Copies of this chain bind each other. A is one copy, B any other.
Amino acid sequence: MTDPFFHPVSGFELPRFAGIPTFMRLPHVALDDPRLAEVQVGLIGVPWDSGTTNRPGPRHGPRQMRDMSTMLRAEHGASQVRPFEAMACADLGDVAPNPADIQDAMARITRFYDRVRAAGIVPVTAGGDHLTSLPVLRALARDRPLGMIHFDSHTDLFHSYFNGMMYTHGTPFRRAVEEGLLDPKRVCQIGIRGSTYDQEDRDFARSVGIRVIPIEEFHARGVADVMAEAREIAGSGETYISYDIDFIDPAFAPGTGTPEIGGPNSYQALQVVRELEGVKIVGADVVEVSPPFDPSGGTAYLGATIMFEMLCIIAAGWDAS
């Protein structure tokens, strides 16, 4: 049982619409806070979307996800896991990005996560666009490649955009493989769909051994079967989870910049996370929530719920360790 300092404020004490919104009503523990040493899982915002090639907005994602996350309660309805009692969780605040310089912004993010990792904290990130994952991986995978289970409608494996731009939200995992941050044979991408420029990304995937499961296969096989394969690919090694909200059908998650028709529904969106049980998770993110395209907050609420499911899965493994 964790210290009550790390328990979220109850809606029975302070109604859910009240209070300064931190992730899941957890305490805010900044990187220079003395209690950082006690934190085991850190929820972090990366309000940054400089990698976005079409419709910007994910820079506003962490704030809206914090707001909507106040509707979540302390216990998982199905598994009865109580993550905040199992692990000391805290809101570590936002990385300060530089919205006008991609390289500087990436350096700032990596430095932040270096400190998080140094403190032994498992980071669960609210993006930000998908380029966010690259500087995070640079910190988490500095010394050995990680496996990755990646939910998305796009592979994000392209070489470059716009006349040689190497760092966009369509390229992070190409870079991550090139930089040795990911072990491509332990990478599985699930839900890929939508029209494409060409096959360049998938050719790369094949050439390095990344497993791509298109949405047609996902719908045909079902969640349990697909996720069993994903777990097998990730194996027993350290694994990163990257969850692009556009994995989910845009009717459920309209607040995103590059929606693709025909995705999973919200129940499947949660089930794939529950099926991560047993994976050795060293970090996770939920990216591409774009509030300007969903002022209602429904997409952010879905994103926050996925973060909660991630916490519960991590907590389930925590108990066992």
Contact = CB atoms under 8 A, between A and B. Distances in A.
A76 to B, nearest CB: 6
Contact of A214 (B77, B91, B216, B305): B77
B298 A254 contact: yes
A28 B17 contact: no
Given A18-B62, A56-B49, A192-B77, A71 B216 contact: no
Interface string A256-270: 001111110111011
A53 B193 contact: no
Interface in A18-50: 18-22, 28, 45, 47, 49-50
Complex copy number for this chain = 6
A249 B265 contact: yes
Nearest to A49: B56
Contacts of A53: 11, 15-16, 99-100
A141 to B, nearest CB: 24
Interface of A: 10-22, 28, 45, 47, 49-57, 59-60, 62-63, 66-67, 71-78, 80, 91, 93-102, 104, 161-163, 165, 167-168, 192-199, 214-216, 219, 249-252, 254, 258-263, 265-267, 269-270, 292-293, 295-296, 298, 301-302, 305, 308
6 contacts: A17-B47, A74-B198, A78-B215, A98-B162, A101-B162, A262-B266
